[in-house]
Amino acid sequence: MTTTFGRTAILEVGKRVAINSDELTLRFEVVFDDDTDPNESVIEVFNLSSSTIAYLKRNERLSLTAGYKSDGKGVILTSRVSSVRTVMSGVDKITRITVIDGPSLDGIELPERTEVIGKKKKKVKKTRKKTYAKNTKASQIVRDLVPLLGVAVGKIRVPRDVTFSKGYTVEGKVLDELKKLAKTCRAQVFIHKQRLYFCTVAEVATSTQFTFSSDTGLIGSPEYYENDEESGYKVRALLQFRVGVGSLISIDSSSVKGRFRVKRGRHYWNGSDFMTEIEVVKA
């Protein structure tokens, strides 16, 4: 691959910190996938000044750009700082910045409501159940539930907007109810770059498409994998910032050819390797 010389990365935190890998040593692992569990990414910076470390505070906005000087670079992580820790390792002072892509949503329940039951002897009780009338559409229920999670919304689009002719009841945990609706509506619910999506994964990707081949950074042959939920290929390549959740890619190798959709992966720089590893399924 002749167009990817000169590894480069720039870390920006808040309005005051911009760290360039040309000046200080950077290491990182950026994880991405299409589920609702918060992803933890880690960035390490070597030998920062004490005054710069003082600016690295929890909840500060963070952006990490990476790529090659000859091929361009792009944002591979945008989130907020979760924690900062500085330790000595020999003569080096290493500052480890942890980034969690969104809050944990598993424990959020439907709000408590008052319900009156019975006809003659009416009783009032507290419940976390909500019943929708006959012929309610799934899209209405989804739009009622999503705001309860309290996160920024990336996109809500219901591919198969089912009408519940007998009505519909939700209760308990909001995320569990959204997952059930997603399955019914042939969608997915997931967190990507701190935003919640209820749609197909394909709708998250940008219009950018990319072909992996030996000429564009593909390393070795894609490895087939299969589990109870899906089958696809594991792809290993030189770091490619254009690739993320939902990206449409083509593989052109001696063993695998075709179009695929990215399900999950990671970008990393560990000192020697500057890589992107992804798992893809047939598009």
- pTM for this predicted structure: 0.82
Q: pLDDT tens digits for 18-66? A: 999 999 999 999 999 988 888 899 999 999 999 999 999 999 999 999 9
| Residue 33 and residue 278 in contact, taking contact as beta carbons nearer than 8 Å | no
What confidence score (pLDDT) does residue 207 get? 53
Mean predicted confidence (pLDDT) in 85-112: 90
For 179, residues 6+ apart whose C-beta sits below 8 A from its C-beta are: 36, 189
What confidence score (pLDDT) does residue 70 get? 82
Q: pLDDT tens digits for 24-37? A: 999 999 999 988 88
Terminal Cα-to-Cα distance of the chain (whole angstroms) = 26
CA distance 241 to 137: 39
**Three-state DSSP class for residue 214:** helix
CA distance 88 to 107: 37
Mean predicted confidence (pLDDT) in 178-190: 95
Whole-angstrom CA distances from 192 to 6, 33, 147, 154, 184 are 29, 8, 16, 8, 21
Which position has the higher pLDDT, 142 or 154? Answer: 142
Report the relative pairing of strands 209-212 and 248-252 from DSSP bridges.
parallel
What confidence score (pLDDT) does residue 117 get? 67
CA distance 54 to 62: 15
What confidence score (pLDDT) does residue 194 get? 80
What confidence score (pLDDT) does residue 179 get? 95
Highest mean pLDDT among 67-81, 193-207, 228-242: 228-242
Both tokens of residue 242? 């254009």
What confidence score (pLDDT) does residue 199 get? 93
What confidence score (pLDDT) does residue 111 get? 87
pLDDT for 105 beyond 80: yes
CA distance 81 to 109: 26
CA distance 27 to 43: 6
CA distance 138 to 160: 9
Mean predicted confidence (pLDDT) in 264-271: 96
Q: Closest Cα partner for 81 from 97, 95, 102, 105?
A: 97
